Amino acid sequence: MAAYTLAMATDDIASEGVPTTSASPAPWREVFRGRRGRLTAGLLVLEALVAVQSLVVATIMPDIRGDLGMVQLYGLAFTALSLATIASIPIVGRAIDRFGTRAVLVPVLAVFAAGLLVSATAPAMPVVLVGQFLQGAGGGGLYALSLGTVAKTYPDHLRPRVLALLATMWILPGLIGPPIGAAIASTVGWRWSFVAPIPVLFATWALITPVLDLVPRPETTGPGVSLRWPLQLMVGAGFVFVALTAFAWWVPVAVAAGLAIGIPALRRIAPPGTFRATPGHGAIGASAFLLSVSFLAMDAFLTLMLTRERGLSLAAAGLAITVATVTWALGALWQSNRAGERRLSWLVGVGALLLLVGQVAVTSTLWEQVPLMFAYIGWGVVGAGMGIAFATIPLAAMRLSGSGEEGEELSSVLLMDMLGVATGAGLGGAAIALSDALGAPLRTGLAGAFGLALVAAVMLLIITPRIPSGRPEGHAGS
């Protein structure tokens, strides 16, 4: 409560025109200096590994389906991964507060490695689903562990730099991940795509472990790590998002059951006030959710629109994704130079405005009279907006978190991000499925999905003033 009061007081000062902190951006070399630099390198390798693997799996999944059959389970492979992530993020976030990063790192890496091995040796598609579930659990755990470590270890003036570097770890994977996956699948076979990352996991463990003493140990044992609510949320979300992939009489029943199971659990895990976007953690959690809903409701169907509606090849459509990957990193780098000078609510507002402007440009290309360059330019603008807002929201959560509670409070925000990913893609897919069932053209379903993205972006713009800038911690964690 004291931290929240101080944060709001600081934000009130900022609202009168005084910046939260006048500190100049930290030199990039500072995050790589000494033993902390070794920790930074390890976190970046983990981020790059998860990025490459997710893109490789998306590339090779058609080969897996062709080898193992059961095409009806194709989409569930990605659903299983997302559901496991929803459960693992809050579990790992609370675990690092209670047991410390050192105790949690090995189990999380082991779960991720187990998912790779199960997928690599899968004799049938249902076993691949198990492997993807384990990979999702491990990947979500690594996500929570990395950002929790940043919150606990790095001083406030370094955090924007580290978050920007983590964002840049998706540029190279975005360029080389799909070709690597295709090359492995077409030569030695898709199974080796799951084996190749395992030595990197061991190397990363060896890199990070000697410097984990830099991460403050928990001062108290605190409450136990409850599994009930994360798992209940995962089950409820599973009912909802699996049902949204179908169009049958039982879908409303499944969605209602999923909501009845999942919402009580979400209320236990989400930051207090999220459903009302109250100033503080509630607005931060709601912003994370709306940002991901807006992005995924369009991102998941952009190449479908460009290929089916505008007649582009998959390679040409994929260039839009590559452009956004680069501008995302550039936006994060721009944000890292200003996070110490500007109110964080202002930065999220800039990102949300760019997101909305870019999405309007992309949506306009649903009509053939609009030049295709609007899709590429618009999606590049969207990427820049995401780089700014996506890096700022967890920084706001870090500044507002109490000492020793960074893992739990940050993981709650990360959970809302992942729920937004699933919701945006799920509701967008439902719009397209509904248009198909009604015999409407694909453009109608795409318009529904893109309309959802625009509405979420507008809602995000409305609540951004409620995001507190928090307190600068110039010497915390030094």
What count of Cα atoms within 13 Å lies in the side-chain half-sphere of residue 312? 21
Q: Is the pLDDT of residue 424 over 50?
A: yes
- Residue 14 in this model has a pLDDT that exceeds 70: no
Same domain for 275 and 142, yes or no, is no
Q: Which of helix, strand or coil describes residue 170?
A: coil
Mean pLDDT of 403-427: 78
Query: In the prediction, which pLDDT does 66 show?
Result: 76
Mean pLDDT, residues 341-364 taken together: 95
Using one digit for the tens of pLDDT, what is the confidence trace for 140-154? Answer: 899 888 888 888 888
Assigned domain for 104 exists: yes
pLDDT at 327: 92
pLDDT-derived band at 468 (thresholds 50, 70, 90) equals confident
| pLDDT for position 223 | 54
Whether 63 and 149 share a structural domain: yes
Closest CA to 135 of 153, 117, 161, 162: 117
Longest dimension (CA), the chain: 63
Percentage above 70 pLDDT, the chain? 85
pLDDT at 109 over 60: yes
| Model pLDDT for residues 52-67, shown as the tens digit of each residue | 787 777 667 767 877 8
The pLDDT of residue 72 is above 70: no
Give yes or no: residues 168 and 274 share one domain: no
Residue 476 domain-assigned (yes or no):
no
For the record, the structure tokens of 388 come out as: 């700014």
Confidence of residue 225 (pLDDT cuts 50, 70, 90): low
> Which has more pLDDT, 134 or 322?
134
Domain assignment present for residue 9? The answer is: no
Q: What number of residues does the chain have?
A: 478
At which of 200, 217, 234 does a domain end? 217
- Same-domain status, 276 and 158: no
Q: Read off the pTM.
A: 0.78
Same domain, 188 and 324: no
Q: What is the mean pLDDT of residues 91-95?
A: 86
Q: What pLDDT does residue 356 have? A: 98
**Banded pLDDT at 22 (limits 50, 70, 90):** very low
Task: Look at residue 404 in the predicted model and tell me its pLDDT.
Answer: 54
- Give every CB contact of residue 79 below 8 A, 6+ residues apart in sequence: 238, 241, 242, 245
Per-residue pLDDT, averaged over 351-357, amounts to 97
pLDDT, mean of residues 320-325: 84
Radius of gyration of the chain (CA): 21
**pLDDT above 90 coverage of the chain, percent:** 31
**pLDDT: is 474 or 125 the higher one?**
125
Confidence of residue 290 (pLDDT cuts 50, 70, 90): very high
Q: How many domains does the chain have?
A: 2
pLDDT of residue 475 exceeding 80, the answer is no
Same domain, 176 and 300: no
Q: 447 is written with which tokens?
A: 């318009």
Residues 47 and 176 in one domain: yes
End residue of a domain, out of 193, 217, 241: 217
Q: Tell me the pLDDT of the chain averaged across its residues.
A: 82
The token duo for 342 is 């500007």
Q: Say whether both 275 and 192 belong to one domain.
A: no
| Residue 237 belongs to some domain of the structure | no
Q: Which of 158, 171, 82 is nearest to 423 (CA)?
A: 82
Answer yes or no: do 59 and 122 share one domain: yes
Domain boundaries, position 340: 270-470
On whether both 199 and 277 belong to a single domain, the answer is no
User: What is the pLDDT, as a whole number, of residue 455?
Assistant: 97
Write the pLDDT tens digit of every residue in 171-180: 767 666 667 7
**For position 302, which CATH number holds?**
1.20.1250.20
Residue after which a domain boundary falls, among 155, 183, 217: 217
| Shared domain check, 213 and 293 | no
Question: Would you state the pLDDT for residue 74?
Answer: 58
**What is the rounded distance in angstroms from the CA atom of residue 343 to the CA atom of residue 34?**
31
Domain co-membership, 202 together with 283: no
